[in-house]
């Protein structure tokens, strides 16, 4: 039996991918499919729903401005975070790439270390900086600049700062990977033909690093717009994002059909942005960024 198989037999390949395929089907594809069906179920009371099909959930979502507000705010926070990440992340990526510093690996390692530190801890540690007894307020009061602690924590700014803190390494690594793939002789060529360093950067380096920047922007936007923990810890009730809305709808109100509807909405909206991105850039850059 074994001898009849060719060396790279597709049948063997199927056996090898069977575990991951089962996992993806049962934990990714099927849940999203069932969730789509659930959006048409009828909500009776907390925790109880019937399979009588209805469009009530979609109707409620499409007509109630409460939900629209949440969606717009989530997209706005995601976009602001992604743009800030792009601006602030490009400098370090460029610096690490261009520096003649011998221990470049150390700078890169320091970017990877945050990935190892628990996200919850990294987020709550901002309370020690921004809180009423945090570094900034205590220092400002000691110096006599303010008499009352500034309300910095539990604001949208604090949420964005927390997201920035979480997402900057993603952005920097994405841009860095893209810069690394640039042929450095191109820049030397531009300089030898009379470009100033600024011109060489604008005409050669920047355009060639755009794929990494775009991948980073998409990644930061999607992860920020899908966040749950950061608004929960650093924001007030008013700063809750779509992820928190979904969590409360399911875990507190036990309204499963509406929770499913909101999840599908978020999935479709974020998928829409990802689709636009892959339409123009393809998936390869994201893969490089995640694996780097």
Our CB check for other proteins shows the closer of 125 and 155 to be 125
Of 231, 229, 220, 222, the residue nearest 266 (C-alpha): 222
**Rounded to the nearest whole angstrom, what is the least distance from the CB of residue 193 to other proteins in the complex?**
15
Q: How far is CA 184 from the centre of its chain?
A: 30
Our CB check for other proteins shows the closer of 155 and 232 to be 232
Our CB check for other proteins shows the closer of 169 and 212 to be 169
Our CB check for other proteins shows the closer of 111 and 159 to be 111
The Cα 285–Cα 266 span in angstroms is: 23
Our CB check for other proteins shows the closer of 44 and 117 to be 117
Our CB check for other proteins shows the closer of 71 and 260 to be 260
**Rounded to the nearest whole angstrom, what is the least distance from the CB of residue 53 to other proteins in the complex?**
14
**Rounded to the nearest whole angstrom, what is the least distance from the CB of residue 192 to other proteins in the complex?**
14
Contact yes or no for 44/57 (Cβ under 8 A): no
The Cα 287–Cα 239 span in angstroms is: 32
Collapsing DSSP to helix, strand or coil, 50 comes out as strand
Of 18, 19, 55, the residue nearest 39 (C-alpha): 55
By CB neighbour count within 10 A (0-12 exposed, 13-18 middle, 19+ buried), where does 100 fall? exposed
Largest CA distance in the chain: 84
Contact yes or no for 90/237 (Cβ under 8 A): no
**Rounded to the nearest whole angstrom, what is the least distance from the CB of residue 13 to other proteins in the complex?**
4
Q: Across-strand partners of 48?
A: 45
**Rounded to the nearest whole angstrom, what is the least distance from the CB of residue 61 to other proteins in the complex?**
15
Q: Across-strand partners of 45?
A: 48
Classify residue 251 by its DSSP letter.
I
**Rounded to the nearest whole angstrom, what is the least distance from the CB of residue 51 to other proteins in the complex?**
9
**Tokens at residue 243, please?**
């992820």
Our CB check for other proteins shows the closer of 156 and 257 to be 257
**Rounded to the nearest whole angstrom, what is the least distance from the CB of residue 59 to other proteins in the complex?**
20
């Amino acid at each position: 039996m074994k001898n009849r198989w060719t060396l790279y037999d597709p049948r063997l390949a199927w056996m090898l991918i069977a575990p991951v395929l089962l996992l993806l089907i049962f934990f990714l594809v099927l849940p999203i499919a069932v969730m789509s069906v659930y959006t048409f179920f009828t909500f009776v009371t907390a925790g109880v729903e019937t399979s009588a099909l209805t469009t009530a959930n979609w109707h409620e979502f499409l007509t109630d401005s409460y939900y629209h507000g949440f969606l717009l705010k989530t997209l706005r926070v995601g976009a602001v975070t992604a743009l800030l990440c792009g601006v602030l992340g490009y400098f370090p990526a460029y610096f690490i790439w261009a520096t003649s510093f011998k221990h470049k690996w150390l700078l890169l390692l320091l970017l990877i270390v945050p990935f190892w530190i628990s996200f919850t801890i990294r987020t709550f540690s901002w309370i020690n900086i921004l809180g009423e007894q945090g570094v900034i307020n205590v220092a400002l009061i000691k110096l006599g600049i303010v008499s009352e602690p500034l309300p910095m924590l539990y604001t949208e700014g604090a949420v964005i700062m927390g997201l920035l803190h979480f997402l900057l390494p993603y952005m920097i690594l994405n841009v860095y990977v893209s810069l690394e793939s640039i042929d450095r002789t191109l820049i030397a060529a531009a300089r030898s033909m009379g470009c100033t360093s600024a011109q060489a950067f604008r005409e050669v380096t920047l355009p060639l690093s755009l794929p990494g920047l775009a991948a980073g922007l998409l990644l930061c936007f999607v992860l920020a717009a899908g966040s749950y923990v950061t608004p929960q810890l650093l924001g007030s009730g008013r700063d809750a994002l779509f992820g928190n809305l979904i969590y409360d709808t399911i875990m507190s109100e036990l309204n499963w059909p509406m929770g499913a509807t909101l999840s599908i909405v978020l999935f479709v909206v974020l998928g829409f942005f990802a689709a636009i991105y892959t339409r123009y850039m393809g998936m390869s850059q994201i893969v490089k960024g995640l694996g780097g």
